[in-house]
Amino acid sequence: MDIYTDCKVKIKEQVVSPNFSDLDISGWTGTALKIFSNGTEYFVDIDLDKLTVDIMPTYYKDYCKDNNLNHKRLILSVDKVTKK
């Protein structure tokens, strides 16, 4: 695994949002804040950068706000991201 805490990451091609199956998040970028495992799979907690936040669809930001979620953070399995 070449992803580690504080490294810059980019979401791989053909990856969709865990919350919206029609929202392609390929190319979104940020910083890996934490790597963790559920015992069978590794995940990365990503702090999305300003460029990514600026291009996010409004409906995604609204959904996060309405559900008390931070639209600037995203958790994905490490196989869906690459080091930037």
- Complete DSSP assignment for 14-63: T-B-SS-TT-B-TT-EEEEEEEEE-SS-EEEEEEE-HHHHHHS-HHHHHH
pLDDT value, residue 22 = 93
In a domain, 1, yes or no: no
Report the mean per-residue pLDDT for the chain.
Answer: 95
In a domain, 21, yes or no: yes
The model's pLDDT over 26-59, given as tens digits with 9 standing for 90+, comes to 999 999 999 999 999 999 999 999 999 999 999 9
pLDDT value, residue 76 = 97
- What is the pLDDT confidence band of residue 1, given thresholds at 50, 70 and 90? low
pLDDT value, residue 46 = 98
pLDDT value, residue 2 = 84
In a domain, 84, yes or no: no
In a domain, 48, yes or no: yes
In a domain, 49, yes or no: yes
In a domain, 72, yes or no: yes
Q: Which domain does 44 fall in, by range? A: 8-79
In a domain, 34, yes or no: yes
* Bridge partners for 74 per DSSP: 46
Give the count of domains, the chain: 1
